[in-house]
Structure 1
Amino acid sequence: MNHTSCNITAYESFPLVQLCVYIPVFLSGSVLNALALWVFCCKLGEWTETRVYMANLALADCSLLLTLPFKILSQFYHLKVDRWCLFLEGAYFVNRLMSISIITVVAADRYLTIKYPLKAKMLRSPLKAALASGFLWVVIIGTIFLIKKVETREQGELCFEKLSTEPSVITLGVVIGGFFIPLIILSFCSIRVIAELVRKKKEKCHEEKLIRKAVHIVSANMAVFILCFLPLHMGHLLRFILDSTSSNCAAIQRVNNFVHLASVLANVNCCLDAVCYYFVNKEFKRASPKLAKSRSEASEAAES
């Protein structure tokens, strides 16, 4: 459906909203993630699987934060699409997708450790975690590079903006593959881990407080992920539906405004990751060896 009469733009006060939110997010997020990288790379001893993933998560979040000042400038000065803009957009989306992917992999790794401890010993290692992280970087960077290469942008279109109301199948694919599939995986793994922790809490009353903390933090981690990323991707999905089926320019504009606001919320996740995963790692690391040991003993007994 053609909507050539629609004039879709960011609402007037959005640059000011970005400025007010992104300045504290950029400053605090940069410090927290740079500190996390320094600790992971320079202050800890032996590398573990979790440490590898956390270092990659901090790197992705830190890299995304570096694009935020340019995102603000693009709104204030209405920067047009050029090679520099395409590079910035690519870096922005690569690091957001990488952050989502690493969070999902951490949830899957945690589930594997608790549910299948014997298999986990064979499947998990710092080297394999590094290879998995490297594979994700290559796939995501390659995917975004190809998208930017084949993507058609209208002449005079603004950086970080979608002015066209033609439905973008590429955007739909990225939304489904880059968020909704990871969301299903993360939700499944987190819920199963929480169920396992609750079961163990009933069996081991002396460890109830420790396990309860782990349950609360894993739950909070999943809630933060959903709260930060779900509104944005639901907005993209709704925008695709309206672009495909509706000629109501006002409705498309409202959804576009919602997507802009939701993107601000999604970028706040860069700060929350550093805080949230510190506590997840700390508490879960204390609880999981006992849980894994218990399940491992049960598995060995069943096999003998």
Structure 2
Amino acid sequence: MNNSSDSGTCLPIAQHMSIPVLMCLVYFMGFLLNFFSLWIFCCRMSSWSAGTILQFCLALSDALGTPVTPLIAVYFAMGNNWPFGTVVCTVKIALLSSQFYGSAIFLTLISFHRYKAVVHFNKSSRMKNKSFIKKLCAGVWLFLIAHSLVYFVAIPSTKVGKVTQCLSFSQSSLTNSFFTIGCVLVSVGFLLPLSISATCYFQIKNALTRLNNITTKSLKVKLKSQRMIQMCLIIFGICFLPMNVTRTAAIVIIKFYPEHCHMVHHVQTAYYASWIVAGLNCCLDPVLYYFGSQNFKDAFPSFKAKPAEPQQSDTEMTPNLM
């Protein structure tokens, strides 16, 4: 069956309702977990370390995609017909993209922060300075806002056949925009953060093999840092890899093989399904806070009126390396 129009445009097809249903379930669960995490950060922890600031920003970025999930469900339920207008379409794309790539950036910064604290614990570093971390996080949010503005110009909703499409590979008039933005996102938004996080992990792993005369408590802190970065890498692999692979495959097909509509439709369905998998990072990141931050873990089970007392930051303990 050839689902193309006379002009050669691949006409959109309706997506199975299991996609929006699962998406809503995953994002709703992620919203509850991250809302609880944000409450812990804001109400149960009286003092924040530099690492806590990064974790708070990660939780905040994870919550960005939740408000637009019901709109996506309506979009699929109406047969891929977007009824909310161009502005809401671009807001939807901007929030989802900022959630995915904001999470990737903050996961990378958490990994780098742990790397500096473990491998270069005896050297002064701006990554240990709360004032610098606040400015760094502000810079990331400004970058995400600027990145979101690109979508207002490059990827609006358009009419395809009899329906209005929003972030659909059937929008043939936006092929060049999809290709350019997709190449930037997969390289700068995924491969670069993944490479940095992987490098931090192996640097810490190598440092642990050279430990000498280290206390049990300090070794525990170092191993916790290694596990935390390992968790970041797992989130990259499970959550963000499928989305980047399917989108890259889709933009290559629509750019160079637009006549293969059946391939476009299959890859687009896989891409929408990968949003569900990517949304799992909202559920996995709170696990990262619990097992990676002693202050967060101490505040978690305590529901007394008094907030948890600040403790020495995990990354401020300085065991002897070498």
- The answer to whether TM tops 0.5 is yes
Q: Which residue of 1 aligns with 2:34?
A: 33
Please list every run of at least 4 consecutive aligned residues from structure 1 whose deviation after the TM superposition is greater than 6 angstroms: 207-210, 283-287
Q: What is the DSSP-based 3-state SS (H/G/I as helix, E as strand, rest coil) of the residue aligned with 2:12? A: coil
Once the two structures are superposed, the pairs formed by residues 1-304 of structure 1 within 5 Å of their partners are: 4-7=7-10, 9=12, 12-13=15-16, 15-19=17-21, 21-77=22-78, 78-80=81-83, 81-151=85-155, 153-156=157-160, 157-165=164-172, 166-167=175-176, 168-200=179-211, 204=214, 206=216, 215-246=226-257, 247-282=259-294, 288-289=315-316, 292-295=318-321
Measured on the aligned residues, the alpha-carbon RMSD in Å equals 2.9
Asked if the contact 1:10/1:260 (under 8 Å) is kept, the reply is: no
**More helix by percentage:** 1
- Cα gap change, 1:27 to 1:123, in 2 (>3 Å): closer
Distance 1:184 1:103 in 2: 12
Distance 2:235 2:13 in 1: 26
Structure 1 unaligned residues grouped into runs of 5+: 299-304
Identical aligned pairs, as a percentage?
A: 18
Deviation at 1:45, TM superposition (A): 2.0
Q: What is the DSSP-based 3-state SS (H/G/I as helix, E as strand, rest coil) of the residue aligned with 1:7? A: coil
Q: What is the DSSP-based 3-state SS (H/G/I as helix, E as strand, rest coil) of the residue aligned with 1:155? A: strand
Deviation at 1:146, TM superposition (A): 2.4
Task: Give per-residue Cα distances to partners, 1:261-282, cap 9 Å, x unaligned.
Answer: 1111001111111112321223
Larger deviation, residues 273-282 vs 120-129: 120-129
Asked if the contact 1:29/1:270 (under 8 Å) is kept, the reply is: yes
Deviation at 1:287, TM superposition (A): 6.6
Distance 1:97 1:172 in 2: 14
Structure 2 unaligned residues grouped into runs of 5+: 298-311
Distance 1:149 1:67 in 2: 19
Q: TM-score, normalised by structure 2?
A: 0.79
Distance 1:30 1:63 in 2: 9
Distance 1:87 1:243 in 2: 24
| Equivalent pairs, count | 291
Q: TM-score, normalised by structure 1?
A: 0.83
What amino acid sits opposite 1:232 in the alignment?
A: M
Task: Give per-residue Cα distances to partners, 1:217-250, cap 9 Å, x unaligned.
Answer: 5323311221110111011111122223224222
